[in-house]
Structure 1
Amino acid sequence: MCGPEPLLEREDALELLVAEAARARTGTGRPVLLRGATGTGRTALLEAAAEHAAAEGMRVLRARCSPEHTAVPFDTVFQLLAHGPEFDAVAEEAPDAPGTPPHRGRFARLWRLLCSYAAEAPLMVAVDDVHFADVCSRRWLVETVRRIDRLPVLLVMTERSQYDIDPPADGLTHALSPSLVHTLTLAPLGPDSMAELVRHARGGSAPADWVDECVRASAGSPLLLRALLEDLRNTDTEGLAHADAGALPDTCAALYPGAYPAAVSWWLDSAGPATTEVARALAALEDGGGWGDGAGWGDGLGSDARGGAAGRGEGDARGGASSRGDRGVGDVRRGAPGRGDGDAGGGVGSGGDEAGGDAGRGAAGRGDRAGGGARRGAVGRGDRTGGDTWGGASSRGDRGVGDARRGAAGLRERGGVDARRGVTVWGGRIGGPTRRGAVGRGDRTGGLVADAALLARTADADPARVTGWLTAMTRLGLLRPDPDGRPRYAHPLLRDAILGGWPAARRQAAHQRAAEAMRHRGDGAEAVAGQLLRSAPVDRAWATGVLLDAADLAVRDDRGEDAVAFLRRALDEPMSPGRRTVVLTELGSLEYATVRSTAGIQRLTEALKLPGPPQDRVRAAVALGTVLARRGEARVAIDVLRDLQDEHLTGHPDLVRTVHTASALLSDHDQGVRQDMYRWLRETAERSPALVGTAGQALLVRYESTAGLTSAESAMRRVRALLAEPAEPLSEAFLLGTAAAVAQWADQLDEAERLVCRGLAGQRASLLHPMHQALLNVRLDIATARGAYAELTELPELAELLADSGASGPTEGGSESANARAHAIIALVETGRTEEATRLADDFDLQHTHDCWEVNRFLYARGVLRAATDDPAGALDDFLECGRRQTARDVLSPVVTPWRAASAECHLTLGRPGEALALAEEELHLATVWHTPRVLGRALRVLAMATGGRRGLELAERAVRMLREGTEGAAGPAEGDGAGEETPDGRAAVAPGTEPAETELIPALIAQGRLLTAAGERTRARDALREAAERAERLGAVRMRSMAEEALREGGARRTATAMTGPESLTDAERRIAALAAQGRTNTEIAGLLHLARRTVETHLTSAYRKLGIRRRSQLPTALTPGAAQPSS
């Protein structure tokens, strides 16, 4: 058990009371008034003084006033004097007649009764909470104060003195001369003393973090601290000594039996209803996301019961640029709609570092009597308002006693500066504390005034009083400034306790008033919407606009969940059916894309049923179709689009074409539907191309490309012609995405990348569209084609997938991530991270995934993984299954997945050259139709490996030459090798303008090296294999480099583990010559310095350039730096 709680920071006050008691015992009494804020320990000090007086032989008369008895005449006096028969006689007398003077009647008889008690023994009269005393008792006590100086009586009274929103009533001593009463003002306990009380309650030491939490939650109030420790002691079954040392709970629901929230409720009741409303409004603002623009109460949004979030403001009351029609929140004075990014025109600043000044927790006061009692730093107060002080730590009179360690400051009502602490007062408002007596910063004061204005509007209170209250509560310790100077409650538990018991309707009304105030002063849309999230429906058009603007900003910042919250709340406000269709479409799209909620389908279905412009209905139908197709319901998706066309698109041929194009694209998710859709599309295009539009014709080009019916050159010519035609707004995305895919297959990677960027720029993140995922897929294909494996894994769609690797099974509609997963697996395999690739492949539940073309990509990638991990039989199964699925979809060309080439390699590994040769020849036939270096070079390489011998070596050399040089290396095929088939237009050349296929050149070099080794040409073999290793190292392709090094070792090469590229790969001679060249030396100068022939210098430099991957002398200084990125050749 702990001993009695120590009385801290009250030594000076107790010493003074002891001295006054000794003086009273000599026959010279004097009244002492103890003032302080609620919970600062007035009663504890009074009891300590009473105990000391009783120990010294004084008789103690006690009375405790309460608000319930303020209407009972003489209730306080009767508590004091209710001793003996004399009192009974006085108490039973009838009340005095009106106008009876104080020296006659009951007043006089009660005074004589007190004198008789004093004649028996020295008295200490202790009156607690005298501000609750009844009127008659107050008059009697005032008269007693005037007469007590010749009696052995010490009169000690406590009185609440705290800044409240409602101006306080006059204090007991309001009409008395300051010389008659000795007033002491009690400051809140400092953090060190509060920490000592916590440790005392624990019976010893306590973790510093936990102690600090308790101190902040109690806000310098012993009352709150005792209640908190009681709850913690009862909540912890092991006792307070074993309480969790990590952190206090943030909600009072975790406390038992609830002494702490009860104490906070009592504190609020003592402050009055107006102060309670302001305190709760402040807690609501803090809980609801902040003060608005620049408030700095969090970059994100707080949680909301409806699944939403409260906003962070960003706006400019001066600008007023609207970003969404007429839904701006801009400068209401000019009526300009808008939302900007900046401040609120100076209306919002930041409060001081202590949110309005700090008098050192000591006594503060106003008036012409300030400065008395310099020995202890007491302050005077002459305005006689009876306790209206900023910090609740004021004193009245010229003999005040404060805390000598805290040095209280005397402040005049009209403003001034405390030269010791630098506290500045501007017309009753205190600015932030400054150093060495400097005047407070004006920007902080302006911020405090702006915050107070918003809070006052929210609580429907006087802004001037709210400003003072914020400063006072900061000085008390109830509030603390955040980094931007805004007032916050000292601890979340304190804020939660203040919000407790507030009816929901009043809380919602406060949030609505806050939203209106923030909108009025020009705050940004998200700041205003953050308050609307917590209010009841406003039923005003401006609320709808604000919420939609906030959703738009959240979408731009990639905060989908926040946008969902704003849009859900916007549906509670009035809007036209057409506008509601748009909102429902965006909300449904975001709900599905963000949280995969089936509610998104319901929103989109509802949007389709509402009347609205045909364009909006088409957008809703396309979004709904996208969701359904991703869930494996492609037939239902196409039925939705068909029904819309039949019922609502009559007279809109452009929209009909868009619906047809969307249906064709979504049919890729179902094999049977796809065949029917493309058959109809092809037949319609033959009869009347205008009926399918440019996007539909582009889809036909894509279909023919994958079916092996056209060449790359012809496909690109047709696609470019379609891109040159005027595009229909809703169909342009389909055209760009399709053209990008064809360009990527044709190895026009730069052009494909430009089309992808253009297509993604036209997409709205808040609107589901089938082409969005298609464009992302093309972006992945481009990166893989370039061999940019490191960049590939950093793309958002793959980075998230890799971060979640290890989760069990796919999510709903998981096949939509199959293509991304396939690219990730290939990138991991090529960079030597096969274990990660295996985990990623195992995470995908192929059995419970609906049929989709992306599954084919996954099968191919898993085959690559199995082949790389010495499982050729398993890899062959995956490749053949991929091929079977693709063939069933009429996808025959190797531009999608070269499953035939991969299967042929597996057959060779398994010792089946006949099967490998058949597949390789079929691959070459289809590659010749498409006719790009990538597919032709790959087909020739595999055919070379399957053929072997001198003929195989010739095919491998042709593959290397074609892949290395493009069209320049496209020599005519030798007679009878099956590689000389012409394309349908009679050409035998490779498609011009294609990019080098580095990822295919490396395996071609390895195949050439192996065949050269088999033919006995080891020198040429080593050259080819070393080049392959160097290119693989430069590309970051660990697997291919390992294959090249293995082939080198098999061919008898030594030191194959050394670096092939980069500064580390240079020989000593190459390094010396390259270093001199990097210094600006010419070849002739270098030759002279090193005594070498100029030709030798040139040979070494050429070799250094190749190893460093550079082409110009000016690149040498950077390339020679260890760890520098090596440019690709």
Structure 2
Amino acid sequence: MALVERNEELRTLNRLFADCARNRGQVALISGGVASGKTELLHTFAEHAAGKGATVLTATGSRAEHSLAFGVLKQLASAQTLPEAVAANVASLLSGDTDAARPDPVSIGRSRALILEGLCAALMEAAKSTLVVLCVDDVQFADGPSLQAVLYLQRRMRFARVMIILTEWALPRPTRAVFRAEVTRQPNTTHLRLAPLSKRGVEDLLRAELDTSTARTLAPVHHALSGGNPLLATALIEDFRAATRAGGGREKEMAVGQAYGHAVISCLHRWEPAMLEVARGLALLGDAGTPALVGRLVDMTAEAAGSVLEVLELAGLLDGGRFRHPVAKAAVLHGLGKADRAARHLRAAWLLHHDGADAAQVADHLVAADQADGPWAVAVLRHAAQEAQVADRLDLAMARLDLAARSCSDETEHADIVTQLLRVEWRENSAAAERHLTPLLDARASGTLADHNAVHLAKFLLWYGHTEDLAGTLAGLAAAASKPDHPAAAYLGLVVRWLAFVTPGATERIKSMPLPSGKDDPWSRAGAVLDAIRAGKADSETARAAEYILQSCRLGEQAFGAQLSALAALIHADRIDRAATVCEALLAEATNRRAVTWQAVLGGLRGEIALRQGDLPAAAEYARVAADAVSAQGWGVVMGSVTAVRVAAATAMGDHQLAATLLRQPVPESVFQTQFGLQYLYARGAHYLATDRPHAALGDFQRCGELMARWSVDLPALAPWRVGAAQAQLALGNREAARTLVSEHLALPGCRGPRNRGIAMRILAATVDATRRVSILAESVDLLHAGGDRFELARALTDLSQAHQDSGACEKARAVARRALQMAKRCQAEPLSRDLRPAREAEPYPADAESLSMDVLSEAERRVAVLAALGHTNREIGGKLYITVSTVEQHLTRVYRKLKVTKRTDLPAGLPRQLMAEDR
């Protein structure tokens, strides 16, 4: 180690050496913190003195030889530089010592006085011919008789060529207080105190090993991490070099590694075991490590622990009572065995709990110990897990709940803890969470599972497709909810309604059970919304109720089911754009809170919404990301919905190979007892239809119908199976069968929404004669424009274009085809774009709606422009808006001028979509 910032002390020693050469004996006491460079300074001076011809005798105090009488003096006497006659004389004198060791190094017995007198005389004799320098390193560990000899010699060497240099640790309370006082009170004693290296000193140390630029860059950080301790600073240089050799690239400002950790341990092992014990106690307790608490942890008084902490502070190991770097903390704890460390953590937890510390602090020690000692510990773990869950620290919450569950002996409480663990783990890793179902089912069977926990069990039984167990659990919950005095009847009723709606195949037993309704709370309102959807009565009132639920609930585990119900209500009520906005906000919050499963569920739902908007690329991407976020096992039955969205989007975009690949992936059979199975069957049927397999398609659509009829949930918004079946019948040439199916579909109470009705009208047009086809398709276009599904609108416009072509209205056919093509391109519906290839050859539009602003148009002009862009004639526009044809022409003239176009075929197809967005 280089000698840095010790030049002043070295000059002082050289001056004392010069005085000693003039027959003026000197004593130098060098004090400094642990590894502060005392030994290096001592050795440097000893080499200088030897070079000047002095006889240099060296010894080192050792804790292991503390009780060995004259151990240090014997080291001095064994130096080869001591004249042989003197060495023999000293050895003979020391062998005659028979006094027992005395704790007081000042008081000397009669027989030992004779020995010391002889030793002193021998050294004085040697000093006549050469200057004698005695160097004792770590004098605080020297044995008592040797210290007696040092003091005896000091008192008699005033006018001798003898120099004594002692090094000691700078301690708040010196261990050899009497000896130290006796040494320092003598007039020929000089006390040198070594301070920690300054920032400049650390830079000088770095400069000796590294280039100037690197030294200047690293100096501030190395000084902060070493506290000016030369040993630690040198270790940091070694770590920097190791990092550089490992390919760290540019110079690292903080390369703290193995060498630094070893240096910390080296410092701690230089003193008595109490230093290491206190350091370990502090490392275990962390920020809670007060001297009193550390002392109690290591069975030491607060005063003694405080003294050791001061030593560590002086040594640069601590800064403000805390380790300067985590590597130091880890190194201190590394030597503990597993059982020893666990016992210490457990004791730390009890001490902190006894002192009223935060539950999180106590829980961290319990988890580290992997033990919870009694009911108090289980209670602390549960409280701390709740805090972690609120803070979205799911990893901490799971670790605490897992230990609480393993340590709890009460069966009811155990079931409660496992339920909470299932809920938390599902948010982060739904596949792993499934293992908790078995103990909860056992608890339900034994009657130790409370109703509020059975609610959560039912949700997860649905998720993982355990439909048989779900049926029994829901029956029990429905029975509890039907009791008027049950405090959570409304919430239980909502859960039962929701699960029965999503999994109708497993809920036959509860259809006749009465459930609470009519209360003015979020759960009852959500239940009423579900009832309205199930009855096919989703309307503006349903949408308002759904909005109320969404505005009054923050994303959370308890509210998640209600929020999903409200989003479903908006979808069924054809409030697609609003559903998209709300779902985006919830998805963003779930992402910020790192709730992986919530993200996946909301992402899958957002994909379904995008599909209903006709945004095929967005639907495919949302569903793909959602599917990738959770494993197939982790998805359970909901994988049916996510796969359905991906298949439907791929089919509409013409990627039939991807759709086929997705359909080859197995789904649980239990999927087909849920709504997700209906979505899956409908998407698969659409894929079969698009790939010229109408019989297979018809089979899937009819199976949808059979399931929905059996479950009494024949809702077009879930799966418009009759529309799909009608298309399959048309492909098979069965026009009458197709017309019957569409007519039945249009008569359903859930088919009042513009999107569902518009899709059905498009199919109906294909079943009637050509004279009626244009008017029916025009109505379909209007409905789909209002419904907001751009893909279905493009399909309707395509059919309308063909109908105009068949009726001889070629100009109108081309205008409508252009708009259909533009919309199909925006949806990336490649098959539809190919069908519209002739329109592609027509003259291009001068502008797109994306670059136009409707703000320049009046309200009346906007209405006329939109209908004109959709291909309606002036007379048709006048009839729809109840204005004269002349007024329509005047409006169109102003529209052309403001939008800088010359004729109606130049109006961008995007105008209807833009107006629709602004209206919302």
Q: TM-score range by the shorter chain?
A: 0.7 to 0.9
The TM-score with structure 2 as length reference comes to 0.72
What pairs up with 1:685-834 in 2 under 5 angstroms? 685=512, 692-694=513-515, 723-724=517-518, 737-739=530-532, 750-751=543-544, 753-754=546-547, 757=550, 764-765=557-558, 785-786=576-577, 795=587, 796-797=599-600, 798-799=602-603, 802-803=624-625, 810-812=632-634, 814-823=636-645
Structure 1 residue 280 corresponds to structure 2 residue 287: no
Counterpart position of 1:374: none
Counterpart position of 2:716: 894
Counterpart position of 1:115: 124
How far apart are 1:498 and its partner, in Å?
A: 0.2
Indicate the SS of the match to 2:180: coil
Which 10-residue stretch deviates more, 53-62 or 189-198?
189-198
How far apart are 1:145 and its partner, in Å?
A: 3.2
Indicate the SS of the match to 1:579: helix
The TM-score with structure 1 as length reference comes to 0.61
C-alpha separation in 2, matches of 1:224 and 1:518: 32
What pairs up with 1:400-439 in 2 under 5 angstroms? none
How far apart are 1:952 and its partner, in Å?
A: 0.8
Which 10-residue stretch deviates more, 459-468 or 121-130?
459-468
How far apart are 1:604 and its partner, in Å?
A: 1.0
Seen in structure 2, the aligned counterparts of structure 1 residues 681 and 791 have a Cα distance that, compared at 3 Å, is closer
Seen in structure 2, the aligned counterparts of structure 1 residues 585 and 119 have a Cα distance that, compared at 3 Å, is same
Of residues 747, 751, 755, the one that matches 1:928 is 747
Q: Runs of 5+ in structure 2 lacking a partner? A: 79-83, 101-106, 588-598, 604-621, 863-889, 902-906
Counterpart position of 2:671: 852
Of residues 368, 388, 398, the one that matches 1:564 is 398
What pairs up with 1:636-655 in 2 under 5 angstroms? 636-639=469-472
Counterpart position of 2:140: 131
Q: Deviations over 1:974-1008 (max 9, x none)?
A: xxxxxxxxxxxxxxxxxxxxx87777556444543
Counterpart position of 2:884: none
Of residues 78, 85, 89, the one that matches 1:86 is 89
How far apart are 1:940 and its partner, in Å?
A: 0.9
Assess if the C-alpha contact under 8 Å between 1:807 and 1:843 holds in 2.
Answer: no
What pairs up with 1:457-476 in 2 under 5 angstroms? 473=312, 476=315
Indicate the SS of the match to 1:184: strand
How far apart are 1:955 and its partner, in Å?
A: 1.0
Structure 1 residue 478 corresponds to structure 2 residue 317: yes
Q: Deviations over 1:47-75 (max 9, x none)?
A: 22211211121111111111222223322
C-alpha separation in 1, matches of 2:186 and 2:661: 86
How far apart are 1:527 and its partner, in Å?
A: 3.9
For 1:123, give the aligned amino acid.
V
Structure 1 residue 187 corresponds to structure 2 residue 187: no
Assess if the C-alpha contact under 8 Å between 1:1045 and 1:1057 holds in 2.
Answer: no
Counterpart position of 2:44: 48
Structure 1 residue 883 corresponds to structure 2 residue 701: yes
Seen in structure 2, the aligned counterparts of structure 1 residues 940 and 536 have a Cα distance that, compared at 3 Å, is closer
What pairs up with 1:300-699 in 2 under 5 angstroms? 473=312, 476-479=315-318, 488-502=322-336, 507-508=341-342, 510-512=344-346, 514-515=348-349, 524-535=358-369, 539=373, 542-571=376-405, 577-592=411-426, 594-595=428-429, 596-597=431-432, 598-608=434-444, 612=448, 616-639=449-472, 674=506, 677-678=507-508, 685=512, 692-694=513-515
Assess if the C-alpha contact under 8 Å between 1:130 and 1:172 holds in 2.
Answer: no
Seen in structure 2, the aligned counterparts of structure 1 residues 901 and 475 have a Cα distance that, compared at 3 Å, is farther
Indicate the SS of the match to 1:124: strand
Seen in structure 2, the aligned counterparts of structure 1 residues 532 and 733 have a Cα distance that, compared at 3 Å, is farther
For 2:747, give the aligned amino acid.
T
How far apart are 1:458 and its partner, in Å?
A: 5.5
- Give the % identical residues: 22
Structure 1 residue 173 corresponds to structure 2 residue 180: yes
Q: RMSD between aligned alpha carbons?
A: 5.6
C-alpha separation in 2, matches of 1:1055 and 1:162: 90
Seen in structure 2, the aligned counterparts of structure 1 residues 1062 and 172 have a Cα distance that, compared at 3 Å, is farther
Q: Deviations over 1:668-719 (max 9, x none)?
A: 8989x54xx53x656xx4xxxxxx1137xxxxxxxxxxxxxxxxxxxxxxxx
How far apart are 1:953 and its partner, in Å?
A: 0.5
Seen in structure 2, the aligned counterparts of structure 1 residues 862 and 463 have a Cα distance that, compared at 3 Å, is farther
Seen in structure 2, the aligned counterparts of structure 1 residues 539 and 65 have a Cα distance that, compared at 3 Å, is closer
Counterpart position of 2:772: 951
Q: Deviations over 1:21-70 (max 9, x none)?
A: 33333333322222222222322222222112111211111111112222
For 1:565, give the aligned amino acid.
A
Counterpart position of 1:1056: 845
Q: Runs of 5+ in structure 1 lacking a partner? A: 292-449, 481-485, 686-691, 696-722, 966-994, 1075-1092, 1112-1118
C-alpha separation in 2, matches of 1:964 and 1:27: 113
How far apart are 1:131 and its partner, in Å?
A: 0.7
C-alpha separation in 2, matches of 1:454 and 1:590: 34
Which 10-residue stretch deviates more, 492-501 or 538-547?
538-547
Seen in structure 2, the aligned counterparts of structure 1 residues 773 and 851 have a Cα distance that, compared at 3 Å, is farther
C-alpha separation in 2, matches of 1:471 and 1:567: 39
How far apart are 1:159 and its partner, in Å?
A: 0.8
How far apart are 1:18 and its partner, in Å?
A: 3.1
How far apart are 1:130 and its partner, in Å?
A: 0.6
Q: Deviations over 1:727-750 (max 9, x none)?
A: 998x98766545456578557662
Assess if the C-alpha contact under 8 Å between 1:173 and 1:181 holds in 2.
Answer: no
Counterpart position of 1:268: 268
C-alpha separation in 1, matches of 2:909 and 2:11: 85
C-alpha separation in 2, matches of 1:467 and 1:806: 55
Indicate the SS of the match to 1:148: coil
For 1:934, give the aligned amino acid.
R
Of residues 794, 801, 807, the one that matches 1:1015 is 807
C-alpha separation in 2, matches of 1:666 and 1:110: 97
Counterpart position of 1:990: none
Indicate the SS of the match to 1:40: coil
C-alpha separation in 1, matches of 2:535 and 2:293: 58
Assess if the C-alpha contact under 8 Å between 1:131 and 1:160 holds in 2.
Answer: yes
C-alpha separation in 2, matches of 1:1103 and 1:882: 50
Assess if the C-alpha contact under 8 Å between 1:740 and 1:756 holds in 2.
Answer: no
Number of matched pairs: 826
How far apart are 1:79 and its partner, in Å?
A: 2.2
C-alpha separation in 2, matches of 1:761 and 1:816: 23
